[in-house]
Amino acid sequence: MSGASEIAAGYAFTGPALDLGALLWEGQCLPDAPVRVPLTVLNRHGLVAGATGTGKTKTLQLVAEQLSAQGVPVFLADVKGDLSGVSAPGADGEKVRERAGEVGQKWTATGFPTEFYALGGLGHGIPVRATVTSFGPVLLSKVLGLNPTQEQSLGLIFHYADQKGLELYDLKDLRAVVAFLASDEGRTELKDIGGLSTATAGVILRSLTAFDVQGAAAFFGEPEFDTGELLRTAADGRGIVSVLELPAVRDRPQLFSTFLMWLLADLFHDLPEVGDLDRPKLVFFFDEAHLLFHDASKAFLDSITQTVRLIRSKGVGVFFVTQTPKDVPGDVLAQLGNRIQHALRAFTPDDQKALKATVKTFPDSAYDLEELLTGLGTGEAVVTVLSERGAPTPVAATRLRAPESLMGPVDGAAVDAAARASSLHERYAQAVDRESAFEKLATRPKPTEKPTEKAPEARSKPTAASERAGASMLEQVVGSGMFRSLARSVGTQVGREITRSLFGTARRRR
């Protein structure tokens, strides 16, 4: 058992840690040899991988609830719709008690503080929207499937709108600006910086129209979601688990994967540098990660790599969830210090190739990893993480703990009720359509028209009573949740300053 002792010693951390499960060695589960991951290294990112049906979702749930219990907020992308159970206590049963006994777990049915979100309000949960201008040209080009030339042209369009105070809140705003710049009147506007060809404008407009027909208009607009909401803790000190419900848009995988990247880029843009903390500010689980990297340009991949590399120092840990490590580009994979690898299949030559590639990504171990990875059962995984001093731990075959929350979805009515009861519902539930590029371009004077000057209106001096009433009304409006959300994205042409960071995402400087 010397090999087991050496592996167990690699997981004997002194500081706070998450308990993943118990060591498997020579066919036996050793409850006295826990496999753990220190809280201090969770901002060094990670990978959860494995074939369909091997237990990845339950692993996410297990890690999320332990993070919440230790005061760390969590973001979960719920693609299949079965992570909502984290909000409800788990169901006791023979299988749960058996697993708990095998791994030395004191299992207690527990629900965790949860906020439910839905992209654009499609499905259950609080609507999550982004303005087109903050989403930026690079991410939008990825969603629309534009080629590099068309992406560059879209960047020029955004630049023009930024400079001219034409707010791009929703898709009709962007369509209006593209149509204007392609018109006889607007064609000269971009002449000095490259111009916009009629053909490219046509491609962009057709792509936007098709995108709109698919129902994407609901995702863009106001009130825009403040990603700072993801960093909250509950009154009892536990981290809030933010579950983004995605089943309603699972047929648009490129959209939701790119939207997840917007959330990350927005956090990166807003959060201050904090260096290494005793625990992360947020751990972000990026499910179906292969969709983000599929057909991505080199510039897009470089931006992802840079975001993942730099967001660590802002206290955010990112875990990519996919089937095999080869789904993640090497430059990104190299930054994922914590690994939980579930079973892989080797039924086809491609499967066997993926298996061999996966084995090469692990440190040398005391196991025959090719044999081990094809023989793991559901709820078992190969684990290696970073120790408290930043060195990789020994590779450990692990039988994972059972989640203490419900291992399955709660019904949609319960999710809707939780969303309506949330303090965020008033702020984000109702979509708002303010004056923006569409309205400004629709009401602009025609070239042959001269704007008429309005005569100054006579104004009566307000009475003291009316001033008091106005002040009281102003206080009510400014104090409302809707106003605070709109004030976050409101801007005027005078004093308006937009900064764009990675992916061309933007925030007006606040």
DSSP state of 185: T
pLDDT digit string, tens, across residues 375-392: 999 999 999 999 999 999
Q: Are 107 and 96 in contact (CB under 8 A)?
A: yes
Q: From 3.40.50.300, 3.40.50.2300, 3.30.70.980, 1.20.120.1200, which CATH number describes the 2-125+228-422 domain?
A: 3.40.50.300
Q: Are 56 and 341 in contact (CB under 8 A)?
A: no
pLDDT digit string, tens, across residues 422-456: 999 999 999 999 999 999 999 987 766 555 555 55
Write the single-letter amino acid at 469: A
**7 pLDDT exceeds 90?**
yes
**Most confident among 68-72, 157-161, 265-269, 320-324 (mean pLDDT):** 68-72
Domain residues of the chain, as ranges?
2-125+228-422, 131-220+436-445
Mean pLDDT score of the chain: 87
Matching residue, tokens 């923006």: 436
pTM here is 0.87
CA 403 from centre of chain: 23
End-to-end distance of the chain based on CA atoms, in angstroms? 60
Q: Which residues pair with 241 in a beta bridge?
A: 74, 114
Q: What percent of the chain has pLDDT over 70?
A: 88
Residue 287 pLDDT: 86
**489 pLDDT exceeds 50?**
no
Residue 456 CB: number of other CB atoms within 10 A? Answer: 6
Q: Are 21 and 401 in contact (CB under 8 A)?
A: yes
Model confidence at 254, pLDDT cuts 50, 70, 90, reads: confident
Q: Are 364 and 374 in contact (CB under 8 A)?
A: no
In angstroms, the CA 293 to CA 85 distance is 29
Sequence-separated (6 or more) residues with CB below 8 Å from residue 122: 215, 218, 219, 248, 249
pLDDT digit string, tens, across residues 315-361: 999 999 999 998 999 999 999 999 999 999 888 898 899 899 999 98
The residue-averaged pLDDT of 310-316 equals 94
Model confidence at 492, pLDDT cuts 50, 70, 90, reads: very low
Model confidence at 499, pLDDT cuts 50, 70, 90, reads: low
Q: Are 222 and 131 in contact (CB under 8 A)?
A: yes
Question: Tokens representing 500?
Answer: 């764009």
Q: Are 346 and 372 in contact (CB under 8 A)?
A: no
Q: Which is nearest to 189 in space by CA: 156, 140, 227, 146?
A: 156
**509 pLDDT exceeds 60?**
no
Alpha helices in 183-297 (DSSP H): 198-213, 253-270, 290-293
Q: Which is nearest to 401 in space by CA: 111, 113, 108?
A: 108
CA distance readout (Å), 265 to 71, 176, 505: 23, 26, 7
**178 pLDDT exceeds 90?**
yes
pLDDT digit string, tens, across residues 64-81: 999 999 999 999 999 888
